[in-house]
């Protein structure tokens, strides 16, 4: 028997048959699980050692083939040298392709195979595309990745490296996602895009970040969770995960959610500042900035994300390129964590909130480092001066140490 039903967020109808969109109105579907067996789920939460140990809350068949390669179970590291007491970094850069999107792809590909997919397609700014390409390799099915033509070449190279077929599109990542929404049925492709309106099956993946954080903090709930927002699914997913834990009685409250964006692409932050309703977020015309992983002209999961920010009495703010560069460097130099620029934006927002007193003394904050910055090395390399080589000889080395490091 199925443990979940898909419910349409728009018309509220519920469905037993799996579908990518509401068969009636085309609205976004989400999976609603029976929480009748609370003790079983509580034991599952307490004992989970791997991502797939949470499968009772995934929208997949009990017995299907799983496409997995050790995603999830990422470290929660206490920041010790950043000067912000009570700050933890959830390092999603440790996932197989270097971002939290691997969680989404493990479920998406397992589901696509269960539904008989012979090929998949995705619109992505690089992170989800690389994750999809890697999991497609594991699944052994063709993968078409539509990326904005402006995507940095190293990100395209990574997708191609895994053997996926890359299609650069003249438009933003939102344009790519909307375009494939129109061609999926034509070619019989399954949509593994990480936006719930196009692929509801990945939306439960990010809930596991909440499950893991709660377990890692011995079931204490952080006061705040800071998340970079591109599409917004990760923010609403983490918040829903904490709602599950509360419903199961494993925790006693919810965290306040912080949405972080880049100044050059901040549709959700703008809506928050203007106190707009979650359904009133407006598209950005020309996304700009170095945080390409969150350069979504329109956050396709922004409605649920902004609702989570409001409901949790959270906050939303942005960071500019300069602030992001500085924070990215700081995270590397002080904590040894190579965060992608999108994640550095979340740290910048936490820093500002701490400075302004919005985050108070003694409060616990988790900043989600969504991806590994190694993907941005060509840009970072271009921004720094690399050292000249020295002759392999002791007197030359001594002169070098004296001139370079004054020792
Ligand atoms: Zn509907």
Q: Please list the helix, strand and coil fractions of the chain in percent, rounded to the nearest 5, in that order.
A: 45, 15, 40
The Å distance, Cα 26 to ligand 1 centre, comes to 6
The Å distance, Cα 10 to ligand 1 centre, comes to 5
76-98+203-378 — its CATH code?
3.40.50.1100
Q: What 3-state DSSP class applies to 78?
A: strand
The Å distance, Cα 14 to ligand 1 centre, comes to 8
How many C-beta atoms surround the C-beta of residue 26 within 10 A? 12
Q: What angle do CA 205, 183, 139 make, to 5 degrees?
A: 45
What CA–CA distance (Å, rounded) separates 201 from 176?
A: 19
Rounded average pLDDT per 10-residue block, the chain, 407 residues: 90 94 95 89 97 96 93 97 96 98 98 94 92 97 95 94 96 90 87 95 97 98 98 97 97 98 98 98 94 93 98 98 98 97 98 98 97 95 91 97 93
The Å distance, Cα 95 to ligand 1 centre, comes to 34
What CA–CA distance (Å, rounded) separates 58 from 53?
A: 10
What CA–CA distance (Å, rounded) separates 84 from 81?
A: 8
Which single residue is written with the structure tokens 């494993």?
250
What CA–CA distance (Å, rounded) separates 269 from 34?
A: 34
User: What residues contact 353, with CB distance under 8 A and at least 6 apart?
Assistant: 224, 258, 315, 317, 359
Instruction: Give me the pLDDT at residue 1, please.
Output: 66
What CA–CA distance (Å, rounded) separates 305 from 285?
A: 20
Contact 109, 191 (CB under 8 A): no
pTM listed for this prediction? 0.96
Q: Strand order in 29-33's β-sheet?
A: 14-15, 4-8, 29-33
The Å distance, Cα 32 to ligand 1 centre, comes to 15
The Å distance, Cα 25 to ligand 1 centre, comes to 4
Cα dist from 66 to 61, 69, 282, 340, 392, whole Å:
10, 9, 38, 28, 52
The Å distance, Cα 313 to ligand 1 centre, comes to 29
What CA–CA distance (Å, rounded) separates 295 from 342?
A: 9
The Å distance, Cα 75 to ligand 1 centre, comes to 38
Helix (H) or strand (E) holding 305: helix 302-311
The Å distance, Cα 20 to ligand 1 centre, comes to 11
- Token readout for 400 is 């070098």
DSSP state of 347: H
Cα dist from 186 to 121, 165, 180, 189, whole Å:
12, 18, 10, 8
Which single residue is written with the structure tokens 């699980």?
33
The Å distance, Cα 282 to ligand 1 centre, comes to 23
Structure-derived torsion over alpha carbons of residues 52, 54, 57, 63, reported in degrees to the nearest 10: 40
The Å distance, Cα 191 to ligand 1 centre, comes to 19
- Sorted by where each begins, the domain ranges of the chain are 76-98+203-378
The Å distance, Cα 326 to ligand 1 centre, comes to 45
Instruction: Give me the pLDDT at residue 18, please.
Output: 94
Contact 173, 123 (CB under 8 A): yes
Q: How many helices (H) and strands (E) does the chain have?
A: 13, 13
Instruction: Give me the pLDDT at residue 36, please.
Output: 77
The Å distance, Cα 182 to ligand 1 centre, comes to 18
DSSP state of 251: -
The Å distance, Cα 9 to ligand 1 centre, comes to 7
First to last CA, the chain: 71
């Amino acid at each position: 028997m199925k443990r979940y039903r898909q419910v349409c967020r728009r018309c509220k109808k519920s469905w037993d048959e799996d579908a990518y969109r509401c068969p009636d109105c085309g609205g976004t579907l989400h999976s609603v699980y029976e929480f009748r067996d609370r003790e079983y789920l509580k034991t599952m939460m307490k004992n989970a050692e791997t991502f797939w140990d949470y499968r009772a809350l995934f929208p997949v068949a009990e017995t299907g083939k799983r496409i997995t390669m050790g995603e999830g179970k990422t470290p929660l590291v206490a920041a010790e040298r950043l000067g912000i007491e009570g700050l933890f970094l959830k390092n999603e850069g440790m996932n197989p392709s270097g971002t939290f999107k691997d969680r989404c792809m493990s479920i998406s590909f397992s589901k696509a195979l269960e539904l008989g997919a012979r090929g998949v397609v995705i619109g992505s700014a690089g992170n989800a595309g690389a994750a999809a390409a890697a999991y497609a390799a594991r699944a052994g099915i063709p993968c078409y990745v539509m990326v904005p033509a402006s995507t940095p070449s190293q990100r395209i190279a990574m997708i191609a490296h895994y053997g996926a077929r890359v299609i650069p599109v003249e438009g933003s990542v939102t344009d790519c996602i909307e375009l494939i929404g129109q061609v999926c049925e034509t070619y019989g492709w399954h949509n593994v895009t990480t936006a719930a309106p196009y692929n509801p099956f990945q939306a439960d993946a990010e809930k596991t970040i909440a499950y893991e954080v709660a377990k890692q903090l011995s079931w204490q709930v952080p006061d705040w969770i800071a998340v970079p927002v591109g599409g917004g699914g990760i923010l609403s997913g983490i918040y829903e995960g904490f709602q599950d834990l509360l419903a199961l009685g494993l925790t006693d409250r919810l965290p306040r959610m912080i949405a972080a964006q880049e100044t050059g692409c901040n549709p959700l932050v703008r809506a928050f500042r203007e106190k707009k309703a979650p359904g009133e977020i407006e598209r950005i015309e020309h996304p700009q900035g170095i945080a390409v992983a969150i350069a979504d002209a329109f956050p396709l999961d922004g409605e649920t994300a902004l609702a989570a920010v409001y409901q949790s009495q959270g906050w939303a703010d942005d960071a500019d390129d300069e602030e992001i560069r500085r924070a990215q460097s700081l995270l590397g130099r002080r904590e040894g964590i190579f965060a992608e620029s999108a994640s550095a934006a979340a740290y910048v927002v936490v820093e500002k909130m701490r400075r302004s007193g919005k985050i108070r003394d003694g409060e616990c904050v988790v900043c989600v480092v969504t991806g590994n910055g190694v993907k941005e090395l060509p840009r970072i390399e271009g921004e720094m001066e690399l050292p000249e080589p020295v002759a392999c000889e002791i007197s030359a080395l001594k002169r070098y140490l004296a001139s370079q490091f004054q020792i």
